[in-house]
Amino acid sequence: MEFEFWDNCWQRESQPFHLAEAHTFLVKYVEQFFSKDKKIFVPLSGKSVDLVFLSQQGYYPVGIEFNPKAVNRFIQEQQLEFSSQNFPVANGNQLTRHHNDTMEVWLADFFDITENHVGKFEQVYDRAAFIALPESMRADYANHLKTLLAEHATILLVTMDYQPDEMSGPPFHITLDEIKQQFPEGGVEELCRCSLLDSHPRWKELELSRLDEVLYRITF
Ligand SMILES: C[S@@+](CC[C@H](N)C(=O)[O-])C[C@H]1O[C@@H](n2cnc3c(N)ncnc32)[C@H](O)[C@@H]1O
């Protein structure tokens, strides 16, 4: 999706994907699959409180979000103090790295971020990032993400499963087959799922017959 689409979304008071509390899948599985001595990459991080949860638990999350409204709101709402540095990129864009001792948040287009900026990651938490992108962008997303993965990386990937003819997305409908196709080097395993039908008025309005949030683990 283009910047304008998300900017419209961030102009509204509330965003349906934003959660007031840390995601239950993350809370349940983080200790089992992630270690505190390695950074956790959180692509397309919005103003997610998952970043705060991770840092409070002693992990070091590295978020990337290209919308300044989202990043500024995150910093204000969470009352964070950061040091900041700017990095120019060849295409004329600018990246800004906000960081403190407990986390790092980049105001940057995901596709502009390279290993030179953030290093490589063994741990990735992708909630509403891969599924926020249309099919035409998902191969580029997966391929770019792979350039930022260290050997033996683990991705915890949260997707949504619904009848594709009942909603057009985002969130886009992603199948297990597509995940295997986009990450053929990895092993993919479904860890758990739960119904979201009662979780937000938006899903009720759409009268979906089912809507599950699904957690996959991709291991390389
Ligand atoms: C569905 S939201 C999910 C936010 C967050 N992961 C969460 O769970 O609340 C997707 C976010 O991706 C951001 N985004 C979309 N394309 C991006 C890109 N190319 N680079 C960085 N951020 C992007 C949007 O601005 C939006 O905040």
The span from the CA of 27 to the CA of 201, in Å, is 24
Which amino acid belongs to residue 178? E
| Per-residue pLDDT tens over the stretch 95-150 | 999 999 999 999 999 999 999 999 999 999 999 999 999 999 999 999 999 999 99
pTM listed for this prediction? 0.97
| Per-residue pLDDT tens over the stretch 172-191 | 999 999 999 999 999 999 99
User: How far, rounded to the nearest angstrom, does the alpha carbon of residue 90 sit from its chain's CA centroid?
Assistant: 25
Mutate to test the pocket of ligand 1, among 6, 53, 94 (most ligand atoms within 8 A of CB): 6
Alpha carbon of 125 to ligand 1 centroid (Å):
13
Structural domains of the chain ordered from first start: 3-14+21-219 (3.40.50.150)
Q: Which atom of ligand 1 is nearest to the CA of 50?
A: 8
Alpha carbon of 52 to ligand 1 centroid (Å):
16
Query: Residue with the nearest Cα to atom 14 of ligand 1?
Result: 44
| Per-residue pLDDT tens over the stretch 21-59 | 999 999 999 999 999 999 999 999 999 999 999 999 999
| Per-residue pLDDT tens over the stretch 162-173 | 999 998 889 999
Determine which of 13-22, 128-137, 193-202 has the lowest per-residue pLDDT on average: 193-202
- Residues in contact with ligand 1 (CB, 6 Å cut-off): 6, 17-18, 44-46, 48, 64-67, 70, 109-111, 127-129, 132
CA nearest 158: which of 180, 191, 136, 184?
A: 191
Backbone φ, ψ for residue 89 (5° rounding): -125, 160
| Per-residue pLDDT tens over the stretch 71-89 | 999 999 999 999 999 998 8
Alpha carbon of 44 to ligand 1 centroid (Å):
4
Place of tokens 């999350």: 61
pLDDT of amino acid 1: 62
Strands (E), the chain: 39-43, 60-65, 83-88, 94-99, 104-107, 121-127, 149-162, 187-195, 211-219
Pull the structure tokens for residue 61.
């999350």
